[in-house]
Amino acid sequence: MAMVNSKLQDQIDDYLRYSQVERGLSSNTISAYRQDLEEYLSFIEKEGMPSWPTEASDVDAFLARQRDLNKATSSISRLISSMRKFYQWLARQNIQKLNPMLEIDLPKKERRLPTALTQEEVNKLLEQPDVKRKLGLRDRAILETLYATGMRVSELINLELQDLHDDLGLVRVIGKGSKERLIPISPVALNWIKKYEKEVRDPLILHVGQNDEHIFLNSRGKMLTRQAIWQMIKKYCQMAGIVKDVTPHTLRHTFATHLLENGADLRVVQEILGHSDISTTQIYTNLSQKHILQVYQKTHPRL
């Protein structure tokens, strides 16, 4: 049994190598695939199955187990998507032709609206970093950049000096699938970045003696992690007294919502956010319509 299971583990490893090298998927995507497929393998081992299941009923049993563990619909969908791609690869490699995933449907999506901050909450959040301190100045520049551009946290931490085109008021970002886009950045955010560069970043680079082209660095002169940004945002939200469930994506949601509330075209917002499908962007129209209704109810004289 151990030999068979190690063979299945090897197949997962081969598939992930293929996904990284041949398909050029990001390390975050590869990590998600690994987590999903190893969870599936763990189930197979517990059930004493000698190979990848070929019956949809076995896959259904695995997914039912995931639902019993109160996994979110989005997590179940991701699992199914990962398993579909893996079974397709198994067939192309002539490892296993029978594909039970052909009979498995994705669960219906939960249309949960993303959290967005009000303008007042954004202003409070931006004021929290102590800009007299080096890390405070860096954090203010980060928060201003996230709110000014709507970029993803992963895009922010990968920003390099050459990506800033301050003369044009644009910044170049590399998004999902290594897609490049130029997006506007406000003079306010640019000023904070320049102040951070001059007073914190450049002296830090000289001090550590190693040049790193990334714009935002930690106290050791190294590239920041997504976790560090997440913790920083949580800390400042607490300091600002913001009780909403704020995630690293919240400023991106807020950026999109505020643009639409102030009359921006949906297609423009789609381009800035880097959404390949406009239906992804349309979720924000629900938020702005809610805002319109609130304004109407507050201001119409006959209500």
The catalytic residue positions are 152, 176, 249, 252, 275, 284
SS (H, E, C) the chain: CHHHHHHHHHHHHHHHHHHHHCCCCCHHHHHHHHHHHHHHHHHHHHCCCCCCCCCHHHHHHHHHHHHHCCCCHHHHHHHHHHHHHHHHHHHHCCCCCCCHHHHCCCCCCCCCCCCCCCHHHHHHHHHCCCCCCHHHHHHHHHHHHHHHHCCCHHHHHCCEHHHEECCCCEEEEECHHHCEEEEECCHHHHHHHHHHHHHHHHHHHHHHCCCCCECCECCCCCECCHHHHHHHHHHHHHHHCCCCCCCCCHHHHHHHHHHHHCCCCHHHHHHHHCCCCHHHHHHHHHHHHHHHHHHHHHHCCCC
